[in-house]
């Protein structure tokens, strides 16, 4: 798969968004926490709050028209769970975290009739659980 798919809402999708592969791959970070405590005698205890959730950050380069389409779809389904099929074949069930879509114009394309000529960078952040 050379693209990223968002199927929302999950498990009965009504909308499927096909997006390009992330610009510089995606970043994945565990949502587990480690807390270190010290006793009065100087001993150290560590507590681990394990979690099967992962924070996914997906940076995308889109045309301006595609970024507006993505923003409008996410405005409707921003609180709904969604299935994310990444370019590497992994499947995730997740929810959007933080600001849904923040567009930053990064350049121009040769095509001006359909896309308006702008290349826009969008970063999507999800709190997700891996399905496969």
Query: Does the pTM exceed 0.85?
Result: no
Distance CA 30, CA 46 (A): 18
Report residue 102's pLDDT band, with 50, 70 and 90 as the boundaries: confident
Q: Mean pLDDT over all residues of the chain?
A: 84
CB 56 within 8 A of CB 28: yes
- Domain that residue 43 falls in: 3-130
Q: Mean of the pLDDT values across residues 3-12?
A: 90
Q: Which tops the pLDDT comparison, 55 or 115?
A: 55
The neighbouring-strand residues paired with 25 are 23
List the Cα angle 8/2/98 in 5-degree steps. Answer: 40
Of the candidates 99, 131, 130, 103, which has an alpha carbon nearest to the alpha carbon of residue 119?
Answer: 103
Q: What is the pLDDT of residue 83?
A: 95
Residue 113 has pLDDT above 60, yes or no: no
Of the candidates 128, 127, 125, 105, which has an alpha carbon nearest to the alpha carbon of residue 117?
Answer: 105
CATH assignment at residue 113: 2.40.30
Number of domains forming the structure of the chain: 1
């Amino acid at each position: 798969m050379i693209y990223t798919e968002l199927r929302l809402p999950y498990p009965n999708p009504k909308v499927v968004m096909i997006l390009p592969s992330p610009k510089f791959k995606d970043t994945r970070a565990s949502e587990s926490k480690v807390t270190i405590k010290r006793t009065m005698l100087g001993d150290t205890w560590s507590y681990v709050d394990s979690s099967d959730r992962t924070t996914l950050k997906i940076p995308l380069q889109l045309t301006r028209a595609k970024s507006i389409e993505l923003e409008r779809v996410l405005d409707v389904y921003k609180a709904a769970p969604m299935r994310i099929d990444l370019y590497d074949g992994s499947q995730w069930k997740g929810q959007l975290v933080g600001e849904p879509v923040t567009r930053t114009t990064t350049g121009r394309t040769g095509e001006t009739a359909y896309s308006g000529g702008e290349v826009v960078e969008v970063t999507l952040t999800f709190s997700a659980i891996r399905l496969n």
